[in-house]
Chains A and B, each alone.
With several copies, the nearest count.
Chain A
Amino acid sequence: MKAAERSLLESPVLAPAPTPFSDTEIARVRSEFPILKERPHGKPLVFLDSAASSQKPIQVIDAMDDYYRRYHANIHRGVYHISELASEAYEEARAKIGRFIGARDAHECIFVRNATEGLNLVAYSWGRHHIQRGDVIVLTEMEHHSNLVPWQILAQEREAELRFVPVTPDGLLDLGGLDDILDSAKLFAFTAVSNTLGTVNPVKHLSARAHAAGAIAVVDGCQAVPRMPVDVADWNCDFMAFSAHKMLGPTGVGMLWGRKELLDAMPPFLSGGGMIKVVNLTSSTYASVPARFEAGTPAIAEAVGFSAAVDYLAALGMERIHQSESRLATIALRRLAEQSNITVYGPPMEQRTGVISLTVGDIHAHDLASILDSEGVCVRAGHHCNQPLMEKLGVPATARASFYVYNTVEEIEVFIAALDKAKRIFKIA
């Protein structure tokens, strides 16, 4: 594979305890991300918004380029050579991405557009099938809108009850009353990592508690899969959704993993070409999973790019990625604590990952982000699709910096200097 050949980082990690990347390694990684050569407003690009969407290495861009140049064709329906190559690449991507998250069977892995679609698929197909009037659905107060609104709509439709695991002031799940909350619940949906606070939730524990209460466990893996080793078998959850674009992959593709027994028993969601077995004019039978849930021509090039992204991450090593991000976050939190007039939200370092939400004096997050942008620093500003959580934290908006494989300690200093500029402009000491 061209993508694999290009990776300069393929040597196996032999160190017993994973170490953060060395400066040389990060420099190498950076050289593989073309966008990092951009200079917005004449400044070097300091990209601290990977939690919204990560940048892409050349290996991923090339894999898709190569696909379109050499073997694009609709899949599974053509017997000719390039169609076979495309089908093979698509199914290999499925199997590889599945292995990456610990799926035991490629049939459990459904390609979707993004995590949002994956969660909706569960809400429509599993949800409409199982949730009846009066049933209980449990969420947490820190869910992204994509793991909240689909359940609201389901609950409204079915007159089901929504319950929420509260969030403590420092941004942790308050698990004190969990068993009461889970009592007689049918489904517990929660994020593995908060996209606003960086909180790392105890997924294995939460899944076990869900099961003990007779509920299935639906995990929003959007922020976890890109930044730490994930093993759905070990977590013992029932569904997990995640997006390629947050983990070095392309836009337009994501995956829903689900337990085979559950998927097998679920009715179709989107229907049409590709998900049927026998079609008559007024009724049809459906293909087995995963095809049953992939109606229409899929995102083939995107699956190929997704696969290359997983190759890239696996070559770096997820444990090391996690270590490196933690190191950057630790340094950033320390440096931020040294500054005046800065409020950082979320839990202490041991319970979080490299996503940092903050406010500076009375500067609104939007103004802050604009000023940071003028220094080439990209951070997100707003509610981060977490309106209820912001309400709870009592802030209308925060600025959020997030780190990923290509970020450096030097960039933290540029970030801090840009925060100083904002304070200067807003005349804050």
Chain B
Amino acid sequence: MKDIAGMDELYRDFILDHYRNPRNAGTLEHPDASFEDVNPLCGDKIRMDVSVRDGAVADVRFRGRGCAISQASASLLTEDIKGKSLAEVERLNADDVVANLGINISPARLKCALLGLKVLKHALALEYQPTEEEKAYPDGQPS
């Protein structure tokens, strides 16, 4: 087991801020790419709209509902990728999401954290690299 964060540490102010005031919230009118998915485990839902220019992310919006971890992760991700090339986005993985959160989380909550990245990659038809956990523990019983 990885070290699981203390709760105060996990839900620091900036996480709660991203949860309650998500950045890049909403939708794009004419997205070049768009995808929505749910985490059947808990019903968390995220939709990502992306506009791409010259092989890079020109703009991004997301809309979702779910726990602070999934929503804040998605919000942080949208900040992260603006202006990044698709190649750079392709390279993003679980470690980057965890780095954004600034803290290790348990496998169950990692699923929450990764939903935004999964949806984003799916929207852009980029390959999503499952984490070791995801490889070892397939979808399992979502409800």
Across the interface, which residues of B come within 8 angstroms of A421, CB to CB?
A: 7
Contact among B109, B135, B141 with A76 in the assembled complex (CB-CB below 8 Å): B141
In the complex the two chains form, what is the Cα distance from A61 to B111 in whole Å?
Answer: 32
How far, in Å, is A299 (CB) from chain B's closest CB? 12
A370 adjacent to chain B (CB < 8 Å): yes
Closest-CB distance, B109 to chain A (whole angstroms): 6
Cβ A77 vs Cβ B141 within 8 A: yes
The answer to whether A365 touches B42, judged by C-beta atoms less than 8 angstroms apart, is yes
The answer to whether B142 touches A274, judged by C-beta atoms less than 8 angstroms apart, is yes
| A364 adjacent to chain B (CB < 8 Å) | yes
Residues of B within 8 A of A427 (CB): 16
Flag if B135 contacts A364 (CB, 8 Å): no
Q: With A84-B106, A290-B138 known to touch, is A396 a contact of B43 (CB < 8 Å)? A: yes
Q: Which of B14-70 contact A (CB under 8 A)?
A: 16, 20, 38, 40-45, 65-69
What residues of chain A lie closer than 8 Å to B16, measured between beta carbons?
Answer: 426-427
Is A32 part of the contact surface with B, judged by Cβ < 8 Å? no
Stretch at the interface among A16-24, A91-99, A342-350: A91-99
Is A92 within 8 A of B136, CB to CB? Answer: yes
- Within 8 Å by CB of A87, from B8, B38, B45, B108, lies B108
Q: Flag if A277 contacts B142 (CB, 8 Å).
A: yes
**Majority-rule SS of A interface residues:** mixed
Contacting residues, chain B, for A83 (C-beta < 8 A): 108
Q: Which residues of A contact B68 (CB under 8 A)?
A: 363-364, 367, 426
Contact of B81 with A by CB under 8 A = no
Task: Name the A residues within 8 Å of B102 (CB-CB).
Answer: none
Give the residues in chain A near B45, CB-CB below 8 Å.
396
Determine whether A330 belongs to the interface, using a CB cutoff of 8 Å to chain B: no
Interface flags, A348-374, vs B, CB<8A=1, else 0: 000000000000001111110011001
Q: Out of A275, A290, A382, which one reaches B42, CB within 8 Å? A: A382
Query: Would B140 and A87 count as touching, CB distance under 8 A?
Result: yes
Alpha-carbon distance A274/B109, docked complex (angstroms): 18
Give the docked Cα–Cα distance between A219 and B139 (Å).
26
Within 8 A of B (CB), among A235-264: none
Which residues of the other chain, B, contact A382 by a CB distance below 8 angstroms?
41-43, 143
**B143 near A366 (CB under 8 angstroms)?**
no
Cβ 8 A contact of A91, one of B44, B65, B137: B137
Q: How many residues of B contact A (CB 8 A)?
A: 34
Contact A287 B8, beta carbon cutoff 8 Å = no
Q: Does A278 contact B (CB under 8 A)?
A: yes
- Bound-state CA distance A294–B140 (Å) is 8
On whether A366 and B136 interact (CB within 8 A), knowing A76-B41, A76-B141, the answer reads: no
Q: A276-B143, A366-B112, A421-B7 are in contact. Are A91 and B136 (CB under 8 A)?
A: yes
Of B139, B141, B143, the contact of A383 (CB 8 Å cutoff)? B143
Q: Pick the residue among B8, B42, B138 that contacts A94 (CB under 8 A).
A: B138
Q: Contact at A374–B7, with CB atoms within 8 Å? A: yes
B138 touching A106, Cβ below 8 Å: yes
In contact, A364 and B142 (Cβ under 8 angstroms): no
Chain B's closest residue to A300 (CB) is: B141
Instruction: Determine if A107 and B138 form an interchain contact, defined as CB atoms under 8 angstroms apart.
Output: yes
Task: Say whether A371 contacts B138, CB under 8 Å.
Answer: no
Contact A370 B10 (CB under 8 A): yes
CA distance A83 to B137 in the complex (A): 14
Are A79 and B141 in contact, CB atoms less than 8 angstroms apart?
no
One of A75, A279, A387, A426 near B141 (C-beta < 8 A) = A75
CB-nearest residue of chain B relative to A85?
A: B1
Minimum CB–CB distance for B18 against chain A, Å: 13
A278's partner among B38, B108, B137, B140 (CB-CB below 8 A) is B38
Shortest Cβ distance from residue B91 to the other chain A in the assembled complex, whole angstroms = 24
- A291 in the interface (beta carbon within 8 A): yes
Q: Are A106 and B69 in touch, CB under 8 angstroms?
A: no
A84-B106, A364-B67, A366-B42 known; A291-B8 Cβ under 8 A: no
B14 shortest CB reach to chain A, Å: 13
A interface footprint on B95-117 (CB within 8 Å = 1, 0 otherwise): 00000000000111100100000
Chain B residues with CB under 8 Å of chain A are: 4, 6-8, 10-11, 16, 20, 38, 40-45, 65-69, 106-109, 112, 135-143
Chain A interface residues toward B at CB < 8 A: 41, 75-79, 83-84, 87-88, 90-92, 94-95, 106-107, 145, 273-279, 287-291, 294, 298, 362-367, 370-371, 374, 381-383, 385, 387, 390, 396-397, 421, 425-427
A-B contact pairs, 14 of them (CB 8 A): A83-B108, A91-B138, A106-B136, A274-B142, A287-B142, A288-B138, A298-B141, A363-B68, A366-B42, A382-B41, A383-B43, A396-B65, A396-B66, A397-B43
Since A76-B142, A276-B40, A287-B40 are in contact, a sample of 6 more A-B pairs with Cβ atoms closer than 8 Å, ordered by chain A residue number, is A274-B143, A279-B143, A291-B138, A370-B7, A385-B143, A426-B16
What are the nearest 6 A-B pairs in CB distance? A91-B137, A76-B141, A274-B141, A366-B67, A364-B67, A76-B140
